[in-house]
Structure 1
Amino acid sequence: MTAERTGLRIQEALDRLDALADRGAREAGEQLARDLMEFYHEGLARIVEALPPPALTALLDDPAVAGLLVLHDLHPEDTAARIGRALAALPEPVGLAGFDPDTGTARLLRTGGGCGCSEQDIEALLACHAPEVTATVVEREPRLLQIATRPGTPAEAAR
């Protein structure tokens, strides 16, 4: 389960508490979620500190691990590196052309022939690795048109 999906399930549970009981039940549920988050943060921080760098680096490709580390502000990479890591997991070449932290928009550049990856596939990977990305603009790399004479034409015979 992804961090995004888990967050949605927690919000749904809090909404049910709100609907079934008084305001105090929702506040108690929110406090429970905060306490659990703090507990998990402390445990994960100790694990991250204890892991040798190669072991931690190997774990960063796992979307669930990456999502937890980002959620708890323990991921060792900056936003651009995390976006690059997510894009590297795609079956076709997609590069980062730019990221605007003010709007959360990542400009992406498809550089391959295309494998049929949808923008939803790309956004799902980015949600785990870089939840700061709230919008994507996907562009295609312009292809060069080469104009040449055909073999056997007078222009080629003159060479």
Structure 2
Amino acid sequence: MDGPDVGEVGEHIEHLLGELAAVAEPGVVEKAEDLVHLLLEFYGAGLTRVVDLLREAEGGERILGLLTEDQHVKGLLILHDLHPKSTLERVTEALDKVRPYLGSHAGDVDLVGVDDQGVLRLQLKGTCDGCPSSTVTVKYAIEKAIHDAAPEISDIDVAGVVEEKVEVGPGGRPLLPLQALECPVPESA
């Protein structure tokens, strides 16, 4: 059973610290932040020791590999920079999983790199480059696969994405796309 998402927990902690900052004296907020950092360091050191012991044990690498398949454990390993695969390795594997889908539309994607701020840079290729549906492809196929594999990626910049044009009607609401249908003309008897 997977536990809470590490990213969601981090956001919740930040939210709680923000709420505390709004009502408490600055010294109290600093103590709360120190407490959070101390707990993270404590559990991170313990997890580091567990990973080190697994790597030393016979069959430990196999067990560590199995642990990385659990979303909760994988998130903790990534948070503490203990995952056995690098960010680029995990991103490459994620892209390999979406390539069959992209290939079914005669498209592909290249990994350009990850910058110091954690921004992943990609380039769409083939029919995906400049395709009007590229926004949907990136949002629902590529971004989800990347987020699942490498939640530490802060943003994804994809060259070749065409922003969808949304027609706006009265009142500023988007218009629904309409398509003419051919209706069969009934034959006269």
* 1:74 counterpart letter in structure 2: L
Q: How does 1:4-153 map to 2 (within 5 A)?
A: 4-51=7-54, 52-87=60-95, 92=101, 96-102=110-116, 104-107=119-122, 119-120=139-140, 122-130=142-150, 131-137=152-158
1:11 shift after superposition: 0.4
Please give the alpha-carbon distance, in whole angstroms, between the structure 1 residues aligned to 2:39 and 2:85.
24
Distance in 2 between residues matched to 1:58 and 1:96, nearest whole Å: 28
**Secondary structure of the residue that 1:76 maps to in structure 2?**
coil
- How far off is 1:29 after superposition? 0.9
* Partners of 1:60 and 1:66 within 8 A in 2: yes
Helix, strand or coil for the counterpart of 1:132?
Answer: coil
Q: Give the TM-score, by structure 1 length.
A: 0.68
**C-alpha displacement of 1:38:** 0.5
For residues 46 and 123 of structure 1, the distance between their equivalents in structure 2, rounded to whole angstroms, comes to 33
Range moving further from structure 2, 53-62 or 84-93: 84-93
1:143 alignment partner in structure 2: none
For structure 1, list consecutive stretches of 5 or more residues without a partner in the other structure: 141-159
In structure 2, the gaps of 5 or more residues are 55-59, 103-107, 127-135, 162-189
Question: Identical aligned pairs, as a percentage?
Answer: 32
TM-score normalised by structure 2 residue count: 0.59
Q: How many correspondences in the alignment?
A: 139
CA spacing shift, 1:43–1:88, aligned 2, 3 Å: farther
- How far apart, CA to CA, are the structure 2 residues paired with 1:75 and 1:41? 12
The code of the aligned residue for 1:119 comes to K
Kept after mapping to 1: 8 A contact 2:112/2:122: yes
